[in-house]
Amino acid sequence: MKCHRIVNLSLVLLVGTQCAPKTAWAQERASLASDQAVEVLSIDSKLIKGKPFSADTTTDTVQTLPDGNRIVRHIVSKFYRDDLGRTRREQTFGNVDPTHPGSNEVKIFIDDPVGNAAYVLDPGEKTALQLRRSRKFLDEGEAESVPKVRKLPPLDEARAIAQEDLGSKTIAGIVCKGTRQTITIPAGQIGNAGPIAIVTETWYAPSIDTIVLSSTTDPRFGVTTYQLHNIQAGEQAISFFEVPANYQIEHPRQ
């Protein structure tokens, strides 16, 4: 059986343990898939009703190396949410499995709280991987493409984390409220000679209850920018949140 690939920014969760041969990559893939309540991460971390919309999204990561070379990654997707809180993400990404090289792919992620189901659709194979929805799925699926600050050693939050209100501005035709968070890693905490400042700016739109723009600058990993484009408020077709009749439904191996 083929492997099903689920992409969350640079993190790759590969569902299905039947892939052979058991290379180091395949072993890591099998380990990641051991929890059958697989999380398909969506743009929102909570069930949001009554604020339907669609949008295009981009995630750009730029890492500058000490020699001046740059590593640039670009991810695009389309996102849909209906009035009942169902979501659909059509994500285009480059090949992520070195043992199975290939061109860019599209995967479709559907979260259906109404039917209590979640799916990963593969348009190329005409398959739908059905996954169990879980509390963790809802609570930890925060902004699939939104840049996150990597986990740090315990900090004295009173001194190391600063919050700033940036007021309001219009982005992509939507009024957003902005905040800036600066996390400072003290000198010596992770072997660093001096303090390291990690700055995240987030612009949130109350009218659609989602993040429209977020940018994280981390000297260790570069700059990651996430943004919504072509935002269209309004109800979405129910067919966006259903598995097409000509798709074969599959399940993760127990």
The strand ranges marked E within the chain are: 4-8, 11-15, 53-64, 70-81, 87-93, 105-112, 117-122, 127-131, 161-171, 174-185, 196-205, 210-218, 222-233, 248-250
pLDDT at residue 252, rounded to an integer: 82
At 134, is the pLDDT very low, low, confident or very high (cuts 50, 70, 90)?
low
Poorest-confidence range of 50-59, 82-91, 148-157, 201-210?
Answer: 148-157
Residue 131 pLDDT grade (very low, low, confident, very high; cuts 50, 70, 90): confident
* Mean pLDDT of all residues in 125-147: 62
Q: Is the pLDDT of residue 192 over 60?
A: yes
pLDDT at 178 over 70: yes
Instruction: Count the neighbouring beta carbons within 10 Å of the beta carbon of residue 175.
Output: 13
Contact 40, 6 (CB under 8 A): yes
What's the chain's average pLDDT? 76
Residue labelled with tokens 């259903």: 242
pLDDT at 41: 38
The lowest-confidence range among 28-32, 117-121, 171-175, 207-211 is: 28-32
Q: Report pLDDT for 153.
A: 58
User: In the block, which residue shows the tokens 């004295």?
Assistant: 156
Q: What's the confidence (pLDDT) of residue 21?
A: 35
Instruction: Look up residue 14 and give its DSSP letter.
Output: E
- Per-residue pLDDT of 2-30, as tens digits, reads 443 333 332 233 333 233 333 433 333 33
pLDDT tier at 155, thresholds 50, 70, 90: low
CA gap 193, 94 in Å, rounded: 36
Q: pLDDT value at position 132?
A: 80
Q: How far apart (Å, rounded) are the C-alpha atoms in residues 11 and 7?
A: 6
Please tell me the predicted confidence (pLDDT) of residue 133. Answer: 77
Task: Note the pLDDT of residue 229.
Answer: 96
Write down the domain spans for the chain. Answer: 4-53+79-146+233-250
What DSSP string describes 47-67?
Answer: ---S--EEEEEEEEEEEE-TT
